[in-house]
Structures are given as structure tokens and as C-alpha cells.
Amino acid sequence: MRLTVLPLAAIGIMLAQPALAQAPAGRIETAAKLRDAALAGNKAYGLLAHLTDTVGQRLAGTEAEARGRAWAKAQMAQLGLVNIREEAFPLTMWERGQARATIVGSNHSLAVAALGTSGATPAAGITAPVACFANLAAFRAAPDAAVKGRIVFIDHRMSVTQDGSSYGVNGAVRRAGPALGAQKGAAAVLIRSLGTDHHRNPHTGSTSFPAGVTPIPALALALPDAELLARRCTAGPVQMQLLSTPTSRPGQSANVTAEIPGTVPGEVVVLGGHLDSWDLGQGVFDDGAGVAISLAAAATIKAHVDATGQRPRRTIRVVLWGAEEFGLIGGRAYAAAHKDEQIVLAGESDAGADRIFQIDSRVAEAGLPLFAEMAGVLAPLGIDAAPTNKAGGGPDVGPLAATGVGVIDLSQDMTRYFDVHHTPDDTLDKVDRAQLDQNVAAWAAAMWLAATDDRPLRTK
């Protein structure tokens, strides 16, 4: 899908031109100029392609994620950002081994992927009857005796939504289904992937087991394979042979940060994405795009600072979080380490590479006029000009928001996000450059306005 932003951008550029010959532009005019400059050309696609092609997947805690951090620091330096830092934190690493699922007595080898933090089968695998459930509620209601020693299959279906909200609603099947299985005595849990494609790509992702509950094998089935298994369940008893050999060990990850320093020390606005990714694809939509958008927005602002000598009042800080996929570990570590700092506003780009359609805030009442200004500057990008003050913040921003940091959400169109999310299909060819550029334009303008403003934004 292509956007109508390019003709609008051309109009924006025409409107902005007379201001160049006059006195220094005001902050709103400058924000519009940054918006149009980013639409006319920015570094996001080049950065994303370079990250994809030279680093690839960046599973948290691994050497691949460390190479991602080295890449990020080199790019930050090249873009002229300063105060480049790596802030380490510990995590429990998890790496998949082999995974195999076959229906006994058939030649069906099902497409499966182990879920993060799940346990292993014995090396020879397990063979057990399958207990099938239409959804998580049906599984929850089942007596333990119907589940004990069995391979549980939960055929919980997710639908397409523009705002991605179906992931929140349906995510419990992956987050909680395996732990529930462990508590009920199941041998393993299989889920229909949280995905909206119909390729033979299982969608991985994290699950979790409460303290004291031993992790059991837990895997996601590709949608066509989940539907096959559901048909076999309807037809009669099914036996399955299952192998999954993930391993866990203590490890380390880190957040990477860099700045455009403001003229007034202390106050900081944060923009970022997460650098880690799942291992199956190349971490392009999730979340190389957010990394590239954040760096390119900062680069657009830095180019303006260098060309005009105009500096923002507040420091603009790019934060590339580590280990998001294993439970927001980097986001939590970052919020804890910076809880005494005056971070006034934070935003995260972590919903793919498609266009932004809405702006929302969660800030102090006194800061709301800033968001009205932002909405005005972003409206020509096709972004809804009626912000609410109920923003959730991206996953890594959540822990900051809990400490009182104001939140900006620029919500992206997630219609096709869950086609590729956490699958081998999360690759660069899915990126629509015009939509990626629209993201950079919006973030560059919004962050400039936030950083040149002095209204209070923190909620506590």
C-alpha cells in the first residue's frame, strides 16, 4: 500500500520555503520544516537495511545482540550524536534448540517454534495423546484429569485490527497458556500462533512461568498446521510425537543511548526502539524499524542544529533498549537506573514500519497545549488531529511512565504487522519506504516541539 503523504509533503515544502529567507523560524515553523525535510529524504531505510544485512537477528543476551549494540554505537557516532553509552543489565538467556512435532501414524511434520522461556522435552522427545481446546477459556475450565500427561493444543484465534489491540486481548494464550498447562500437569502446550498470516511460519514469542512452576515444553504452530491439527482433533483421538530442546543460562544485555544536548541541563525527552529481536527472522518490523526511525529522526534534528546553530532547550536522548522480547527487561532496567533523572517525556516506536495514524499523550494537564501544537504539525501527514491523554506508551516506555515520565504515542497502522511478527518473514522486503519516512517525519517534528517547549509534562 502506498500513501498520499508525498504530494502533501511537496505542498509542505513549498509552504516552508519563504521562511528560509526571513528571520529565524519559530519552533512550530521549524518543526514543520523538519517534518518536510524528513519526508524529502532521511536515513531510516539505509540504516535499517544496513542493520538487517550486516547484523541480522539480535536475540537478547547473545553475541548477535552485542553486535547490534556495536552497530548502534557506530551509527550514533557517525550521525554526530554525543554521550554515547552502553548500560548493562543481567538477564536469563534462552536459546531454542531443535523442535519437531509429528502426528503419529501420519506423514505430517508440523511447523512449530518453541516459545521463549519454555522448557525442553527429553532428548528422545515425548509421545502423548493430544488434548484439544478451542480457546484459552475452554482450557482453563478443563479438569486437570483431562490434561494430565497430555500434549495440550489451544486453537485460540486472533483477528486483524488496525491498532494491534487484538494482540493484547489474545496474547494471554501465549503468555499464560503454558504456565497453566504446567500447573495442570500437561506434558507440553502447543498454541495456534498469535498471527494473522496463512504461511507455514510459526510465530515465536515469550511465555512465562511463575516462580516455583517448572517450565514445560511450549511451542507455537503455524496457522495452516494449527488448522490441520484442529481438523484431526475433530475427527478423533490424535497422538503426537514432540521434541523441543531449548536451553537457558545467565547472561547480560544492555541499553544503548546517545544525545543531542539541550541548552538547559537536566530535562530530557526520550525517543527509542528496542535493539533485540527474535531469532527466526531478521528483526526488521520488530524492531529494527523503531531503531532506524528513532536514529533517523534524531539525525534530521541534528542536521538542523548543525546548519542553524539552533539547539533544543531539553536534551533529546535516543534509547535503544535491549532484551525487550524476554519481558521488557531492558525497559525495566532503564527506568530503575534513571528514576531520579528529569526525563519529562518518552516515546517508543515499536509497531513495525507502517504509517502513523494517531497521536496521543499522557502528560500533566499543563502540557496538553504542546500536544495540540504537535497535532497541528502532524495533520498533513494524515495523522489524527484529536489527541487523547490516555497514551499507553510503548512496551519499554511503560516502566518509565510508571515513575511519572510523560508519554507520547504515535500509533502505527498494524494491519499487516502480525503477518510477519516474530516469524522468519520479518525481513526488509516488507518495508514500504514512504510509510517508513512518514514515521521519521512525525517523530522528528514531535520531538523538536517537545524539546523546545518548557511546559511541565511529567504526571508525578
| Residue carrying C-alpha cell 500462533 | 193
Q: Is 357 helix (H, G, I), strand (E, B) or coil?
A: strand
User: Do the beta carbons of residue 402 and residue 339 sit within 8 Å?
Assistant: no
Q: How far is the CB of 270 from Zn ion (least distance, A)?
A: 16
Question: Which region among 10-18, 252-260, 282-290, 443-451 touches Zn ion (by CB under 5 A)?
Answer: 282-290
Q: Where are the extended beta strands (E) located within 261-339?
A: 268-274, 315-321
Identity of the residue numbered 178? P
Q: Which is nearer to Zn ion, 51 or 120 (CB)?
A: 51
Q: Which is nearer to Zn ion, 286 or 354 (CB)?
A: 286
Q: Which is nearer to Zn ion, 155 or 350 (CB)?
A: 350
Q: Which is nearer to Zn ion, 225 or 287 (CB)?
A: 287
Report whether the peptide linkage leading into residue 396 is cis, meaning its omega lies within 30 degrees of zero: no
* d(C-alpha 381, C-alpha 192), whole Å: 37
Q: How far is the CB of 191 from Zn ion (least distance, A)?
A: 19
Q: Site residues for Zn ion, window 19-38 (CB under 5 A)?
A: none
When binding is defined by CB under 5 A, the residue of 197, 259, 286, 409 that contacts Zn ion is 286
User: Do the beta carbons of residue 313 and residue 30 sit within 8 Å?
Assistant: no
**Residue 279 within binding range of Zn ion, rule CB under 5 A:** no
Question: Which region among 68-76, 202-210, 286-294, 406-414 touches Zn ion (by CB under 5 A)?
Answer: 286-294
C-alpha pair distances (Å), 366 with each of 91, 363, 453: 39, 8, 12
Q: Where are the extended beta strands (E) located within 306-405?
A: 315-321, 343-348, 356-362
* d(C-alpha 179, C-alpha 158), whole Å: 20
* d(C-alpha 190, C-alpha 201), whole Å: 14
Q: Is 244 helix (H, G, I), strand (E, B) or coil?
A: strand
Q: Site residues for Zn ion, window 418-457 (CB under 5 A)?
A: none
Which residue in 441, 436, 110 sits closest to 292, CA to CA?
436
Q: Which is nearer to Zn ion, 257 or 349 (CB)?
A: 349
**Residue 396 within binding range of Zn ion, rule CB under 5 A:** no
Q: Which is nearer to Zn ion, 301 or 346 (CB)?
A: 346
Q: How far is the CB of 225 from Zn ion (least distance, A)?
A: 24
Cα 322 vs. chain centroid, distance in angstroms?
11
User: Do the beta carbons of residue 339 and residue 332 sit within 8 Å?
Assistant: no
**Residue 287 within binding range of Zn ion, rule CB under 5 A:** yes
> How many residues bind Zn ion, per CB under 5 A?
3
Q: Which is nearer to Zn ion, 272 or 367 (CB)?
A: 272
Q: How far is the CB of 236 from Zn ion (least distance, A)?
A: 40
**Residue 350 within binding range of Zn ion, rule CB under 5 A:** yes
Q: How far is the CB of 350 from Zn ion (least distance, A)?
A: 4
Question: Which region among 61-69, 260-268, 344-352, 364-372 touches Zn ion (by CB under 5 A)?
Answer: 344-352
Question: Which region among 169-177, 264-272, 348-356, 425-433 touches Zn ion (by CB under 5 A)?
Answer: 348-356
- With a CB cutoff of 8 Å and minimum separation 6, the contacts of 26 are none
**Residue 65 within binding range of Zn ion, rule CB under 5 A:** no
Rounded (10°) CA dihedral 354, 360, 361, 366:
140
Q: How far is the CB of 421 from Zn ion (least distance, A)?
A: 8
Residues of this chain that bind Zn ion (CB under 5 A): 286-287, 350
